[in-house]
Amino acid sequence: MDTLLIHALNSLLYAAVLFLIAGGLSLIYGVMRIVNLAHGNLFAFGAFVAAWTVGRLVGGPTPTPLLYLVLLAGPFVAAALGAAIEPTLLRPFYKRPEEYQLLITFGLQLILEDLVRLIWGPYPLTVSSLYEGMGSLNIGESIYPTYNLAVIVVGGLAAAGLWAFIYRTQFGIVLRATSQNMRMAQAMGVNVNRVYVQAFTLGCFMAGLGGAIVVPQQGAVLGMGVDALILAFVVVVIGGLGSLEGALIGALMVGVVRELGITFFPEVELAVLYLMAAGVLLVRPAGLFGRA
Amino acid sequence: MAAEVSRRDFLSRLGVTVGAAATAASVPLVGAPALIERAHAQPKGNIPDTPYKVGHMTFFTGAAAVLGEPSYKGHILAAEEINAQGGLLGKRKIETIKADEAAGTDANVKEMRRMKLSEKIDLFTGVISSGNTPALGPEAESLKLLTIFVDGCTDFLFDKAVLNPHYIFRITNMQSADGVTAAVATAMTWPKVRRIAHIHPDYSYGRNAFAHFNIVMKKMVPGAQVVSEGWPKLGTTDFTSHITKAIAAKPDLLVASVWGGDYVAMYKQALRYDMFKKMKFTSMIAFGVAPHAIGKDHPEGVIAGVHSNYYFNYPPQDRWPLNSAFVKKYLDRWKEYPNFQSEGAYTTLMLLKQTVEKANKLTGGWPDDEAIISQLEGASISGPAGYLHIRPDNHQGYKDAMTGFSVNSPDYPFQILDPNRIITIPIRNITAPPGWPAPSGEDTRTYTWIDKTWPTVKL
């Protein structure tokens, strides 16, 4: 029973972070029809900003509970970056064929990766005192880090908050209208440019939040962005690109299957996620919640 | 089947030594200081003053940049030192062209070709990944490009990809030495371990470490069994599931070859699970990353491997001036301590310098590649890590394999290897001897050699 609970918590932990990344990716695609290949690097950027900022303050006079809030520097900087990128780099390409958008976001991915290395160097940044600071819980004979539970809670809150935001607010209605038919929304008086920049910024904020929240547990390392992007793609391929429900279900499925893979089939841990994605694609080419 | 022996006899036959006291035996000191002081002899004949172009390929981006950066820094340090003396033979300044290994194997092969054909490089060096040397080796041979790999340590380079190397050499110890060294150190330190959990990155390095650790344990700790396996993808930083799985198997010992940023993430997560209080821990390469990346929170007293090559406090700096000089120069230049890649890249250029000087004495003028190669085969050099010998048959660099135990010291802001408990093993005793046939399957020469010739310890 305890073992089962631990497996469940491990799956949820992985799914929570994945949802933050894949949810943002899917939101941006759903509204703007842009596959943002730099999305993983915004996740990494959020992680590095959070690690660096907290790292400056650890051991100083700042009380520890406040340091957890300082982690939020990550998502806010990632969001600011998104707010700057959309109007300057993406907007000029909306009228062009999709491959231009892929090229520009791919270029952006390389630039952001190099920028991170230029600013913070090649070595990992860690702030594990925040991970240590929360201690552990006893679950039967096992112990479980409390911070992991906090990550699960934040992931859950983010999913609920996002749902409420999109289905229960005025802005959400405008967002969904633009997503369903951009021209019609424009004809009805929606300022599409503004909606785009808001959606993109929100997506980047989520990616940055994902990055910041893993930092106490995992640190910030080069290459984490590309790895995150690939996993986020697995999630959205399963769930359906552009669907938030899909991202949530996809993240949960990946979390559970990865946990099962590691526990029972360690030799194929790598393959098992891709096999699942391939299986879903065969049965439902647009993903479980895809609209195409 | 070879005869049974006691573990103590076995270890002494292998020549395993522990601690600072052993260093006098494993690293003879006589004459070493003289090597650095040696007067700069005038070269024979006319030497052109055209730059000597070196291509250095290593990881500048991605997770492996934690190893690539030190490699490049070691290389640049050596190049600057040689250039400050006027260059090779006092005339030819070293000019470095760098390339990012993260481009992928196919792109790396093309880049090597481009460097040779367009940039006209004289020497190719660097390379971290074991996935790349088996592709770059044959290409260098067909380009007739003098190559000294710093790492890319897979046994398969000389066991399979290039059986009779002419143009290519390699500095660091072979990959199999990591698993073997870790297992020998484990058998010596904790002979009672029986239940063993493994966590290794899922690619050639991790597979190789797992296989060689197990074959040595079979010989030295009969009855030891693998009770849990974890194969995270390279680049994994969430080890929660791997850790809980390993703990649930209730092992006596955890063995891991996870490295770099992945390893830093792994040990920090494992701490929160009290993992290191519940079992012993042996790693092949925990301290292989740049020294300052390991925090003081790292568990003490575990076997913290350094890719069986080099850690900056061994050979002890007061007893091996080449190392103290190197560490000081590196620290002054880069404001950080060197790792095994720094040492390997540095020694590579110093080996080139020594070889070119030797060849010049024999031939006069600038020696051609054939003259340099003939002097590299069988060459010996005293480097920061101790003596390095280039085996003439397979062009592989050999130096004593080493590992050690982690300890906190007030002298450093990070955790170090305990200088009083360094374990060294003469490399010839843990690698297949010249002439041992290359196996046809997936096994390495060293694997089949150990399997067929090592005795089994009697309990």
What is the per-residue pLDDT across B82-140, written as a single tens digit (0 to 9) for each? 999 999 999 999 999 999 999 999 999 999 999 999 999 999 999 999 999 999 999 99
Please report the pLDDT score of residue B17 as a whole number. 84
Helix A73-85, helix A192-218: angle, nearest 10: 150
Euclidean distance between CA atoms B213 and B179, whole angstroms: 4
Binary contact (A117, B202; C-beta < 8 A) = no
Q: Name beta bridge partners: A50.
A: none
C-beta of residue A254 within 8 angstroms of C-beta of residue A15: yes
Question: What distance in Å separates the CA atoms of residue B68 and residue B341, rounded to the nearest whole number?
Answer: 8
Length of chain A: 292
Q: How far apart, in whole angstroms, are the C-alpha atoms of residue B113 and residue B145?
A: 9
Spatial contact of A82 and A200, defined as CB atoms under 8 Å apart: yes
Among B423, B148, B415, B431, smallest CA distance to B303 is for B423
Contact B265 A148 (CB under 8 A): no
pLDDT of residue B195: 98
Nearest CA to B48 out of B96, B95, B88 is that of B88
Specify the residue for token string 């390495």: B444
**A23-43: pLDDT as tens digits:** 999 999 999 989 999 999 999
Nearest-CA distance from B268 to chain A in Å? Answer: 7
**8 Å CB contact of B233 and A269:** yes
Give the pLDDT score at B36.
Answer: 46
Which homologous superfamily does the CATH classification assign to the domain defined by B4-26+176-308+403-457?
A: Response regulator (3.40.50.2300)
> Contact B345/B397 with Cβ under 8 angstroms?
no
* CA angle at A160 for the pair A9 and A142, rounded to the nearest 5°: 15
Give the confidence band of B25 by pLDDT, cuts at 50, 70, 90: very low
Chain A closest-CA separation from residue B403 CA (Å): 22
Q: What b-and-e string marks burial along B134-156, b requiring 16 or more CB atoms within 10 Å of the CB?
A: bbbbbbbbebebbbbbbbbbbbb
Query: What are the chain B neighbours of A121 within 8 Å (beta carbons)?
Result: 69
Determine which helix (DSSP H) or strand (DSSP E) holds B359, and give its type and residue range.
helix B340-363
- CA distances from residue B114 to B143, B165, B257 in whole angstroms, order as listed: 11, 21, 34
The token duo for B227 is: 């009770």
Q: Rounded to 5 degrees, what angle do the CA atoms A10, A12, A128 make?
A: 60
Q: What's the gap between Cα B141 and its chain centre?
A: 23
- How many residues can be counted in chain B? 459
Instruction: Specify whether the CB–CB gap between A240 and A291 falls below 8 A.
Output: yes
Buried-state track B396-430, b at ≥16 Cβ within 10 A, e below 16: bbbbbbbbbbbbeeeeeebbbbbbebbbbbbbeeb
To the nearest whole angstrom, how far is the Cα of A125 from the nearest Cα of chain B?
8
Q: For a pLDDT cut of 70, what percent of chain B falls above it? A: 95
> Which of B8-22, B246-260, B297-311 shows the lowest per-residue confidence on average (mean pLDDT)?
B8-22
Q: What is the pLDDT along chain A (292 residues), one digit of tens a residue?
A: 688 899 999 999 999 999 999 999 999 999 998 999 999 999 999 999 999 999 999 888 888 889 999 999 999 999 999 999 999 999 999 888 989 999 999 999 999 999 999 999 999 999 999 999 898 999 888 889 999 999 999 999 999 999 999 999 999 999 999 998 889 999 999 999 999 999 999 999 999 999 999 999 999 999 999 999 999 999 999 999 888 999 999 999 999 999 999 999 988 887 899 999 999 999 998 899 886 5
* Helical (H) or strand (E) element with A210: helix A192-218
Break chain B into its structural domains and give their ranges: 4-26+176-308+403-457, 48-173+318-394
Q: Sort strands B386-390 and B397-398 into parallel, antiparallel or unpaired.
A: antiparallel
Encoding tokens for residue A288? 């479980």
Note whether A217 contacts B242, CB cutoff 8 Å: no
**Which residues of chain A make contact with B235, given a CB cutoff of 8 A?**
223-224, 227
Sign of the four-CA dihedral B272, B275, B280, B286: negative
Q: How many CB pairs under 8 A join A and B?
A: 130
Q: What is the distance, to the nearest Å, from the Cα of residue B417 to the centroid of all Cα atoms in its chain?
A: 16
User: Which of B292, B275, B303 lies closest to B418 in space, CA to CA?
Assistant: B303
What is residue B370's predicted lDDT score, i.e. its pLDDT?
Answer: 96
Contacts of A21 in chain B (CB under 8 A): none
Look at A3 and B248 and tell me if their CB atoms are within 8 Å.
Answer: yes
Looking at the complex, does the CB of residue B299 fall below 8 Å from at least one CB of chain A? no
- Are A43 and A118 contacting, i.e. CB atoms less than 8 angstroms apart? no
Chain A residues in contact with B272 by the CB 8 A cut-off are 131-132, 136, 143, 145, 147
Distance from CA of A277 to the nearest CA of B (A): 17
Instruction: Give A118: exposed, middle or buried? Use CB within 10 Å, 0-12, 13-18, 19+.
Output: exposed
Tokens linked to B399: 């130096």
Nearest to A124 by CA among B67, B193, B219, B276: B67
Question: Do B48-173+318-394 and B4-26+176-308+403-457 have the same topology in CATH?
Answer: yes
Chain B partners within 8 Å of A258 (Cβ): 241
pLDDT digits (tens, 9 = 90+) for B143-201: 999 999 999 999 999 999 999 999 999 999 999 999 999 999 999 999 999 999 999 99
Strand partners, B389: B380, B398
Residue type for A208, please? G
Q: How far apart are CA B326 and CA A222, in angstroms?
A: 28
**Which chain A residue's Cα is nearest to B246?**
A263
How far is it, in rounded angstroms, from Cα B109 to Cα B116?
Answer: 11
Residue B288 and residue B339: Cα distance in Å, rounded?
Answer: 6
Q: Which two tokens stand for residue B449?
A: 């050699």
The mean pLDDT value of chain B amounts to 92
Q: Rounded CA gap, B156 and B179, in Å?
A: 15
Using a CB-CB cut-off of 8 Å, the residues of chain B touching A269 are 202, 230-233
Contact assessment for residue B411 and residue B317, using Cβ atoms and an 8 Å cutoff: no
- Residue A227 is given by DSSP the state H
Residue A259 to residue B241, Cβ atoms within 8 A: yes
Confidence (pLDDT) at B106 = 97
How many helices (H) and strands (E) would you count in chain A?
A: 13, 2
**Protein fold of B48-173+318-394:** Rossmann fold (3.40.50)
CB contact under 8 A, A224 and B69: no
Better pLDDT: B24 or B292: B292
Task: Map residue B208 onto helix, strand or coil.
Answer: helix
- Measured between beta carbons, the chain A residues lying within 8 angstroms of B244 are 6-7, 10, 142
Chain B positions in Cβ-Cβ contact with residue A55 (cut-off 8 Å): none
Given the structure tokens 């006092």, which residue do they identify? B90
Q: Where are the domains of chain A?
A: 25-222
Nearest to B202 among A13, A14, A269 (CB): A269
Considering CB atoms only, which of A128, A136, A221 is closest to B268?
Answer: A128
Distance from CA of A14 to the nearest CA of B (A): 8
Q: Cα–Cα distance between A178 and A183 in angstroms, integer?
A: 8
As a whole number of angstroms, the distance between CA B274 and CA B44 comes to 64
Query: Cα separations (Å) of A49 from A55, A62, A126, B84?
Result: 10, 18, 11, 40
